[in-house]
Amino acid sequence: MNYQILDQLQQHKAQLLDSVELGSGMQLAMWQNNQDRVNVCSNHHTLSMYIQGGYQSYQKTAQGWHNGGGPDRMCLMPQDFESTWDLRDSLTFVHLYYTEQHLQRVAEQVWDREPSQIVLNPQIFVADPQISMIYRHFLLNDAWQNRENHLQMSTATTLLLNHLIKNYSHVQWQTPEVKGGLSPYVLKQLLEWIDQHLHLSLTLSDLAQQCQLSEYHFAHMFKQSVQIPPHQYVMQRRLELAQQALKITSLNLTEISSLYGFSSSSHFSHRFKKQFGYSPSQLRKN
């Protein structure tokens, strides 16, 4: 998917700080801008959240320039929604780009319905604590390029799209309650599969497919069975098995980090020390 806002913003003063394409085809981009007049209209949906600054950001409306930006304020710009912005101070913001097909897929998975179209309502400078929490907790704490973070990121984007459909569209469906966990046999097979594939950049879709469930239902049923979300369990297993490898093998840190799905030995060491309170090299010395 060629997300047009990526190209449009780079024709202005906006600086692209980071971007990553997720396994589902959605894309995240972090931007910085200052003292700019921007006009955008695209063939896709955009969910934006202000991270820093933006107090002097103005959107052009029929009644004049509307102000209300600042950290944790979100803007929802649906497909074909044209908007003009006057950015009078420095700001950093994150965009999530996605399509109508992404929305339909989430709707079909969660509600088991096939809407002909999901109409999102534009939102400008809105304080939504749920969106802010998902961005800051799941998407902004870790480096996007590190493959060990992609499961957490794919989980976050699923949560975001589900929240948008429930709260900012014409859809009035009640979210189904998911009761019960995975069967013992399915859970056993899944956990074995996870251990065998920790070297890969896993996504929520990868895990859900092993159980032949939608991502939404899988995530809820997995947590019922294991008591923690899938992304936390997978990270825990990466670190536990890496710890065992440090104790019983002669593999070096680079080999172990690659074997258990970490992008580099430095990222592995950081995660390891955060989990256990000591570094991999300290464990080897002892």
Residue range 129-135: average pLDDT? Answer: 96
CB 127 within 8 A of CB 80: no
Residue range 58-64: average pLDDT? Answer: 95
Is 70 exceeded by the pLDDT of residue 115?
no
Which residues lie below 8 Å from residue 48, measured CB to CB, with a gap of 6+?
74, 75, 76, 77, 93, 94, 95, 96
Neighbours of 36 (CB within 10 A): 15
Is 80 exceeded by the pLDDT of residue 92?
yes
Average pLDDT, the chain: 92
Is 90 exceeded by the pLDDT of residue 178?
no
pLDDT tens, 219-252?
989 999 999 999 999 999 999 999 999 999 999 9
Q: In order of start, what are the domains of the chain with their CATH numbers? A: 4-168 (2.60.120.10), 177-286 (1.10.10.60)
Q: Which residues pair with 74 in a beta bridge?
A: 49, 126
Residue range 187-210: average pLDDT? Answer: 94
Angle at 153 between CA 206 and CA 144, to 5 degrees: 115
Is 70 exceeded by the pLDDT of residue 160?
yes
